Structure 1
Amino acid sequence: MDFKELLAFQKSFQLAMDIFQLSKSFPKEEKYSLTDQIRRSSRSVSANIAEGYRKRRYTNHFISKLTDSDAENSETNVWLEFSLKCEYKNIETYNNLNTKTIEIGRLINYMINNPDKFGCKIFSN
């Protein structure tokens, strides 16, 4: 299986694209702060999933990359909260994107807690 077939990858990639479109409407003064940060963190979620999956033979590496992905997902959620509080988007848009970050977090955590289901070799003593 290719990493692009993973539901967590697909949903996180789509969220990054949704955020890219949304962030185009942010004020120019946010270009090097909020816009840049939210785009980077949202893109890192799927990038870390891809990196971890590629090296899933090494369980600790796989879990480490997924943990990084989960952290980036949480960071994205914080930037979404800032964009709401700064009134760059409405509550409906925020709720929609927030729900997606929560779902992605659950998918990533499932992968972290079940690495054997994703091709990792679990060794016992």
Structure 2
Amino acid sequence: MHNFEKLIFWQRSIVLAKNIYIICKEISNDEKYGLISQIKRSAVSIPSNIAEGSGRNGNKEFNHFLSIALGSAFELQTQLILIKELNLLPKEKTITLLNEVSEIQRMIYSFKNNLK
């Protein structure tokens, strides 16, 4: 079992999820049940799957949940690209979030490779 709270990529994904919730307040309510709902779920899924996997019975299961977290990170990346393309947020905010998602993706991928 791993202590997920000590994992830097879990800590950063918590901050990312918090920032996603904050910026979603800036997006039009027309998107409340569409893109906003989806982007929040993707953002929360990243640290949630890291935490769940860390409590499983061994590295094989942890690796599986890290894969799910990584998939959610790519889903979030796609949604942020769409937000940028639709000009739903200022470009600089979206780019900052995209950069953070990319860094978290790299960290999860690297940890997964070392876990094997």
TM-score by length of 2: 0.94
Q: Kindly state the Cα deviation for residue 2 of structure 1 after the two structures are TM-superposed.
A: 2.5
Gapped regions of structure 1 (runs ≥ 5)? 117-125
Q: Which runs of 4+ in 1 moved over 2 A?
A: none
1:9 Cα deviation (Å)?
A: 0.3
> Does 2:102 align with 1:102?
yes
CA distance in 2, matches of 1:7, 1:59: 18
TM-score by length of 1: 0.87
Q: Distance in 2 between matches of 1:54 and 1:104?
A: 20
- Kindly provide the CA deviation profile for residues 45-85 of structure 1, in whole angstroms up to 9, marking residues without a partner as x: 00000011111x42221111000000000000111111111
- CA distance in 2 between partners of 1:58 and 1:14 (Å): 27
Within 5 A, what are the aligned runs for 1:3-18? 3-18=4-19
Structure 1 vs Structure 2: percent identity of aligned residues?
30
CA distance in 2, matches of 1:87, 1:95: 12
In 2, Cα distance between equivalents of 1:111 and 1:48: 14
Task: Tell me which residue corresponds to 1:20.
Answer: 21
Q: Distance in 1 between matches of 2:24 and 2:60?
A: 35
Aligned counterparts, 1:50-69, within 5 A: 50-55=51-56, 57-69=57-69
Q: Which runs of 5+ in 2 are unaligned?
A: none
| Residue of structure 1 equivalent to 2:3 | 2
Larger radius of gyration between Structure 1 and Structure 2: 1
| Structure 1 residue aligned with 2:50 | 49
Residue 32 of structure 1 aligns to a residue in which SS? coil
How far did 1:88 drift? 1.1
Q: Which residue of 1 aligns with 2:78?
A: 78
